[in-house]
Structure 1
Amino acid sequence: MPNNNFTHLLQDLMQQVGISSFKELSRTAGVSERQILRLRQGKVKQMRVDILLKLSQALQITLNDLVNSFSVSSEQEENSSNSGLRNHNSALRTDEQNLLQEIDNLKREYERSQLALAQQRELLQQEFQQTSIQILEPLLLQWPTAAQRAKENQQLAAIKVVPLVQKPLEKLLQLWGIEAIASVDEEVPYDPQWHQLKKGSSQPGELVKVCNIGYRQGNKLLYRAQVNPIEE
């Protein structure tokens, strides 16, 4: 019987003895309707013998015939079990396929993100290089000529060459938000956070003289200014 449902079989046997309902069968056999439900479900092996005997007498069949008619065969049980196992395995395979598909989608999305990031990084680098080249343009175009003239004429005043380097460098540092810490030969109160002694010793607050300037970007220290104590 499909789904281990023996209701139709039981109804046929009831009709043969003139019993019209399960409730009437319950009264006639003297058993509960719950026991009749168990019989309809093919759960004969779980029912007591005295209950089965009462039902067989009410249905006017032998106990052996009742048990045989309403028992689920081993083959049916195995088929039912195998069917459940197949359904379970099928569900597992579906879940596994969905998981693999999701992982594949994540990999593809990650690859697209990495590609987009690489393209953006390259674009930013190109923009940075282009901006830097525009600022350094005078130095790039004029410095080789100035250097060659300096080699040819050692009497050429350095003051004429300095602006070629100084002005583009100042513009570039300004663009990057980099500030100089003091200036060369400036006398400033010694601050170990921003200054580094090249020789001797000084206490914080004492005047020192800057020999090499330092740089900071906002509140971030890039290079400390190198200083020397002022000799009295």
Structure 2
Amino acid sequence: MLRTSIFITNLSNQAMDDRTEILRLLMKQVGISSFQILSERTGISRRAIDTLRKRNAATLRYADLAKLAEVLQIEVTEVIAKFIRNSNNPESPISEIAALREEYQRLQQKLELQKFELRSQFERDAIQQLESLILQLPSAAYAAQQNPNMLAKNILPLLRPIDALLQKWGITTIGAVGKEVNFDSQKHQLMEGSDEIKEGDIAIVRYVGYMQGEKLLYRARVSIAI
């Protein structure tokens, strides 16, 4: 008899801790028909959703609870109230919310710091690659203004850092200025003012295009060969 009583008590406790039907009702109100769809819309794993159904939301991150609340169109505090198991301490839900929010804010700050560090590193790398160009181009431009007869080819070596930077980023050119190519609408763009051109017709590259791996960045601008 005692064992039966304990078994019934355990079942009762499990039923009290099971929030599946409550979650289903909230999902139904926003047109979500399955836990898989809920997982996809919130970006929360199925395991985390199962944890929620068992009323163990306190083990989840505040960011997950906030996203869940957004998708279910309820307040985060309501998620906490419905899916965190009550304790003997009446202040427990409040302290749990505060702890989760603090963790979320800490992670947000860490993410912002990482983004700042990555951006700073990117800028340092770019500046390092372009160092000679940045330092010498203004002087070269001034010299060209002072001496109209200065050959443009004397400035070309200053452009090498740009080529090196593009190569480092995996960016390649489409065509070469002045070269004839067979027109390909996927890679070439006919310049304004030019006559119509057909696929495969001979064209001349006026401005090179760029690709990064398989991704097209800019089509090469071409004109019809005379």
Verify same fold: TM over 0.5.
yes
The Cα of 1:137 is off from its aligned counterpart by 1.0
The Cα of 1:175 is off from its aligned counterpart by 1.4
Provide the C-alpha distance between the structure 1 equivalents of 2:146 and 2:154, rounded to a whole number of angstroms: 15
Is it true that 1:112 corresponds to 2:103 in the alignment? no
Secondary structure in structure 1 of the residue aligned to 2:223: strand
193, 201, 205: which is aligned to 1:206? 201
Is it true that 1:230 corresponds to 2:225 in the alignment? yes
Summarize deviations over 1:158-200 as a string: whole Å, max 9, x none: 1101221x20110111111111111111212211111111122
Provide the C-alpha distance between the structure 1 equivalents of 2:205 and 2:90, rounded to a whole number of angstroms: 70
Amino acid at match of 1:128: F
Within-5 A mapping of 1:69-218: 97-164=91-158, 166-198=159-191, 199-218=194-213
Identity of aligned residues (%): 39
Provide the C-alpha distance between the structure 2 equivalents of 1:188 and 1:99, rounded to a whole number of angstroms: 70
* Consecutive unaligned residues in structure 2, runs of 5 or more: 1-84
Provide the C-alpha distance between the structure 2 equivalents of 1:94 and 1:183, rounded to a whole number of angstroms: 76
* Consecutive unaligned residues in structure 1, runs of 5 or more: 1-90
Amino acid at match of 1:148: Y
Structure index of larger Rg: 1
Quote the RMSD (CA, aligned, Å). 2.1
Distance 1:161 1:98, change over 3 A: same
The Cα of 1:223 is off from its aligned counterpart by 0.9
Distance 1:160 1:92, change over 3 A: closer
Amino acid at match of 1:230: A
Match of 1:81 in 2: none
Summarize deviations over 1:53-111 as a string: whole Å, max 9, x none: xxxxxxxxxxxxxxxxxxxxxxxxxxxxxxxxxxxxxx978587443333322211211
Secondary structure in structure 1 of the residue aligned to 2:143: helix
Q: Is the 8 A contact 2:175 2:208 kept in 1?
A: yes
The Cα of 1:115 is off from its aligned counterpart by 0.8
Distance 1:229 1:94, change over 3 A: farther
Provide the C-alpha distance between the structure 1 equivalents of 2:90 and 2:167, rounded to a whole number of angstroms: 57
Amino acid at match of 1:194: K
Provide the C-alpha distance between the structure 1 equivalents of 2:216 and 2:99, rounded to a whole number of angstroms: 44
Aligned length: 140
| TM-score, scaled relative to structure 2 | 0.57
